[in-house]
Amino acid sequence: MAAPGILVVEDEQPLARILAYALGNDGYRVETAGDGIECMNRIATFSPDVVIMDIMMPKLDGVETIKLLRQNQLNRDLVIVALSARCSNADREAALAAGANVFMKKPFAIARLLESVEQLLASERSP
Amino acid sequence: VTTVGQTLTNFRFLVRSVRWVELAITALIVFFARAVSHLDFPILPVAIVFGASFLWNLAFWYAGRRHLVEERGIEGVRLLMWSWVVADVVTNLLLITFTGGTSSPFLFFLVLPVILGSVALGRPGPSYGVAAGSVAGLAAVWAMDRAGSIPRFRSYPAGSDSMFYQPDIAAGIFLMSVAVLSLLVYTIFRFRPNFFIFQEAFREGRFRIHSFRAGDIQELRLEEVEAIGPEDLLEEVVQNLTTNPSVVFSAAMVFPAGDDTIGGVPGNSWHQGLTRQRIVSVTRRQVIPTWSEFRSERSELFRHLRYAETGDLWEGPFAVLRKDGLFPHFEDAENYLATPVAQDGRTVVVLIVGVRNPVRDRSEVVLHLLNVAAQLKPLMVAETRLSQMRGELSALHDQNESLSRVNRLQSDFVSIASHELKTPLTSIMAYTDALLMHADDPAFGERKEFLRVVRDETDRLLRMVNRILDFSAIEFGQRNLKRTRIEMRTLVEDCVTTMRHDLDRRQVRVELNLPVALPRVEVDPDLMKQVLLNLLNNAWKFSPQGGCITVAAREAASAIEVVVSDQGPGIPEDEVENIFKQFYRVHRDGADTPEGSGLGLTIVRNIVELHGGRITVDGGVGRGATFTFTIPKEQCINDRPETVLGDLVHRPEFTHLMKLLVRMVADYMDCKIVSVMLLSADRKQLFVQVAYGLEEEIVRDARVPVGEGIAGRVVASGRPMLIENVEDIDGFSGPNNPQYETSSLISVPLMMNDQVVGAVNCNNKVTGEPFYAEDLSLLVTLTEKVTLALARALEFEDSRDTLQRTVRALQALVDLHGTETRATKRAVRYAMELGRRMGLTRHQILALQYAVVIHDVGMTRQRRDLLRRRGPLDPGEVQEVRRHPGEGAELVEPFLSADELEEAIRYHHERMDGTGYPHGLSGEHIPLVARIVSVVDAYDSMTSPRPYRRTLRPSEAGSELVENAGSQFDPDVVRAFLDILAENGELSREDYMHLKEGERWLRPASLS
């Protein structure tokens, strides 16, 4: 079975780059998208197992993108990790309500993120 | 303000009752007579006649009352009366037609009530009109009937000429007539007291049409009353009243909400002349009726209150003429006088006074009223105090506003700080994590790249932190300006150098267009560089690869204008309003949003405004963005020898006011140089205290001995001077300094408390023309107003409020000049000419001249987007715009020495037909100055370029005026104005004749 695919949706180029690097280092197939719209375009061809989604993005923001993703039955089992610099309870609730599996505050330790992704993928497969 | 008949509407139930009783009884008689006397007139037409007459009355009463009486005043009353006459005559005519002519008995019944009614109404003209009109109409009908020119049904039994010859019918008719009479008499006497005052009002010509809505009082909340806090005031008044020997007691009642008692509650009412025991023993209910009783139609007091409800005390007091058990415990009092005190059109307090002396006739009551009203004068003071308190309340409200603004700011701040600070932090953290993971791996190839990213992101973080610090320093006023005089070019070039690297990277060129002769600006160089850097950076961000940024500057009358424009995508029109807001970023689809704090432009605006300038931006997608900001040219020297004004000069508010003064003068006079000179303490020489647009050396070194030079002569004589050409004056060879471009100048003495303290000088009109007489008188007026306000503000040393209002007013005047609504010089000239022709006094003309210039000053307090809006406004916004005349009048209150000025500002949007705002005055009730301002302003703005519509030619604007003469404008003013336009060559002879042909509008519309 192929390595799990991860789509990193992040408008900050440096951050997208380092996430792609770190995840790739861990053996995942990684692609990046600069905003929500690009994410929607990429998802069809790439069909990842995990989407790492920044919330504050231009054009289509993270919450809206997650909602769009979840509308599609095919993406029901998709693991979505939301990342945001705004981290009030309301922001967190909004992201989770839209359909994110995990909400992570920025800044975060890369190791934490990798750990979360791994756990989520494991729990996704076990049941 | 409306002095037209308040009383009448309060008699509507009376008049209505009389008319309806009359109509009903006539109908009864007609049909009763038919039943008992075998008359054979057709029922249906007669019934229709009665029905129509009833509907006519109803329609005129309900539909017509509002339009006729309330809007047209006494004209409306007459119309209403005549409508009744017409209704009577038509009804009678038709009845006679259908019931058998004048030989039928009914005519008698139709005339009877009319005569009775007019007798009951007494002497007043209109009721005679009704009676006389009706009788005359009936006489005409009779004559026509006799002559056989009215078709009629033959309805009485054959064989007799008239029904009067049949005894049983005659007896029945007699009984019926007694019944009618007694009903009418009852109706009239039932409302007798109202009749009484009605007559009084009619006779004195004192109509006050005023509909008192019970709901208004009901809505009043007790808390509101307490907020106004009339306790001490009322106590004072009540005590004053008791010094009048004829006053038995007095009580002030405060109206609370709901149906509770309205008085007798300690703290809510005050009594004098009553023993303590009495007050205690008398229950609330007994002293004063409950609220519901009080406002019920049956309550005498309330009914009287209804026509007395007004803030105008001399019109307000009323008498209760009979002891009617309203205040059973005050046996000594024969009569009660009461006056309501209204605030914002709602009654807040009712003052009741018991009068000992029996009152036998009306003149005695009036005398008492006057007596008591004189005692009530302190309440006038109360009114002012109330309005003061209102002011304080609104200040509190403002404070609240600004607090909530701070709250918003904080939440924005949190949001922006989250994103803009955490984003680079996140990258830094992620990259260092990655670096750490490979810290021991010598083969790790990306080390250098990662470290560079960390470095870049740290830079970014630092920039953001700096910006936030700058922003808070400026926003919270922690930074004082360190002004130096510096060349604009130096500043711009410095900034371009700073940005060189970025500019080159994207091959963006910067083109400078700075005139060599540009005066140096007095600014804080660090802050001004921030402005330029922010604007340049902004322009750079949005510039296309290889684009060009233009920085241009030019000298305007009172300021240097700097323009920074780019060739980027431009700013959408609807974003223009928001662009200077904190944390606002223009959203563009399909384009990368460059990095930004959302603070840059806010910082820019704050800095520019800190320098006393203004910044604007031109929007439009595809046209690039153009930012224009101004730097005022004012200079103020503080290290001066002592002046006649002593320490005053060193007070910061003095400097502030003086700076505003020179700026205002420069703006309004359209000249490049303005200086305020003050007398030295020994009164021997003058030096420049504050200047606008003058070289620093002159400002610093100029000394003019009193009696020499222009300013010296002006100060010595105390009279203003207008010099058309300085070379014509003996002893002057020409402009004494190369900076003076024209040889025309104006100098006006600066008077404070009737003493010359200095002079205001103006040079260099922007147009290069010499100054004219109207310039001089405008300067005199402006100076007078400012020094008056200044003197007033300085008189009360502690009164920061007065001072703040003065500063606000001046600032508003300066702002006004920056808007499109300002008046042209030409308008001022025409207005003065108009004033002369309309017979105004010199004083009034001066006020008028000033009013034309500043009548829209209230606009500066409106939301900017409303002024720019091209599309329709929603009702709330319309309300807001409609407040501007009132706000303007309040704003410039510190300057108001003349009532005309206030009136002109307050009422310039009133219309002759009464549909204008804010008060809906009509015709002659609008002050003449306001009518003149309205015409001149309309013409001026129609013929001036405005972005939202095309500029009209004088003839077109003239015909607009003619078109609306009578409805919007005063026809007399329009006529005189057209004459002036024609004489000034603005209207051609043909156009003028053509406009004059429309004689229709020459008829004053106020008479109908």
Q: What is the pLDDT of residues B765-803, one digit of tens each?
A: 777 788 887 778 778 877 877 777 677 666 655 445 666
Contact assignment for B425 to A107 by CB distance below 8 Å = yes
Q: What is the overall mean pLDDT for chain B?
A: 66
Is residue B894 within 8 A of residue B856, CB to CB? The reply is no
Please report the sign of the dihedral spanned by the C-alpha atoms of residue B797, residue B800, residue B804, residue B806.
Answer: negative
B277: DSSP letter:
H
Contact assignment for B431 to A111 by CB distance below 8 Å = no
Contacting residues of A for B446, CB less than 8 Å apart:
21
Contact assignment for B422 to A17 by CB distance below 8 Å = no
pLDDT surpasses 80 at B284: no
Across-strand partners of B760?
A: B676, B748
Give the N- to C-terminal CA distance of chain A in Å, as an integer: 18
Q: Residues of chain B with pLDDT > 90: what percent?
A: 1
Instruction: Say which residue, B188 or B294, is predicted with more confidence.
Output: B188
Give the N- to C-terminal CA distance of chain B in Å, as an integer: 22
Contact assignment for B426 to A19 by CB distance below 8 Å = no
Query: Where does residue B837 rank: exposed (0-12), middle (13-18), buried (19+ CB within 10 A)?
Result: middle
Q: What is the C-alpha separation between B247 and B271, in angstroms, rounded?
A: 12
pLDDT in tens, B166-199: 556 666 667 667 777 777 666 666 555 444 444 4
Q: Residues of chain B with pLDDT > 70: what percent?
A: 49
Is residue B495 within 8 A of residue B533, CB to CB? The reply is yes
Residues whose CB is less than 8 angstroms from the CB of residue B856 and which lie 6 or more positions away in sequence, other chains included: B816, B819, B821, B822, B884, B888, B937
SS3 string of B63-96? HHHHHHHHHHCHHHHHHHHHHHHHHHHHHHHHHH
Q: What is the C-alpha separation between A89 and B557, in angstroms, rounded?
A: 55
Least confident of A111-125, B234-248, B561-575, B795-809: B234-248
* Residue B625: φ, ψ to 5°: -105, 140
Amino acid (1-letter code) at residue A30: V
Q: Is B15 on the interface with A (CB under 8 A)?
A: no
Q: Is A86 on the interface with B (CB under 8 A)?
A: yes
DSSP string, B845-889: HHHHHHHHHHTTGGGGGS-HHHHH--SPPPHHHHHHHHTHHHHHH
Is residue B536 within 8 A of residue B574, CB to CB? The reply is no
Q: Is B403 on the interface with A (CB under 8 A)?
A: no
pLDDT band at B637 (very low <50, low <70, confident <90, very high): low
Q: Residue B228: which of B272, B268, B271 has the closest Cα?
A: B268
Nearest CA in chain A to B450: A18
* Residue B3: φ, ψ to 5°: -100, 5
Q: What is the C-alpha separation between B177 and B171, in angstroms, rounded?
A: 10
Of the CA atoms within 13 Å of residue B162, those in its CB half-sphere come to 10
Q: Which residue has the tokens 């939440």?
A: B411
Q: Is A85 on the interface with B (CB under 8 A)?
A: yes
Q: Is A27 on the interface with B (CB under 8 A)?
A: no
Q: What is the C-alpha separation between B564 and A41, in angstroms, rounded?
A: 39
Number of H helices, E strands in chain A: 5, 5
Residues whose CB is less than 8 angstroms from the CB of residue B189 and which lie 6 or more positions away in sequence, other chains included: none
pTM of the entire structure? Answer: 0.38
Q: Is A15 on the interface with B (CB under 8 A)?
A: yes
ipTM of the complex: 0.85
DSSP string, B302-332: HHHHHHH-SS-TTTS-EEE-S--SSSTT-TT
Return left, alpha or beta for B546; rule: phi > 0 is left, psi -120 to 50 is alpha, else beta.
Answer: left
Q: Which residue has the tokens 């009084």?
A: B200
pLDDT surpasses 80 at B1: no
Contact assignment for A108 to B453 by CB distance below 8 Å = no
Contact assignment for B453 to A18 by CB distance below 8 Å = yes
Instruction: Say which residue, B825 or B376, is predicted with more confidence.
Output: B825
pLDDT band at B834 (very low <50, low <70, confident <90, very high): confident
DSSP string, B677-735: EEEBTTSSEEEEEEEES--HHHHHH-EEETTSHHHHHHHHH---EEES-GGGSTT--S-
Q: Is B431 on the interface with A (CB under 8 A)?
A: yes
CA B855 to mean position of chain CA atoms: 10
Nearest CA in chain B to A13: B427
Across-strand partners of B312?
A: none
Q: What is the C-alpha separation between B371 and B490, in angstroms, rounded?
A: 77
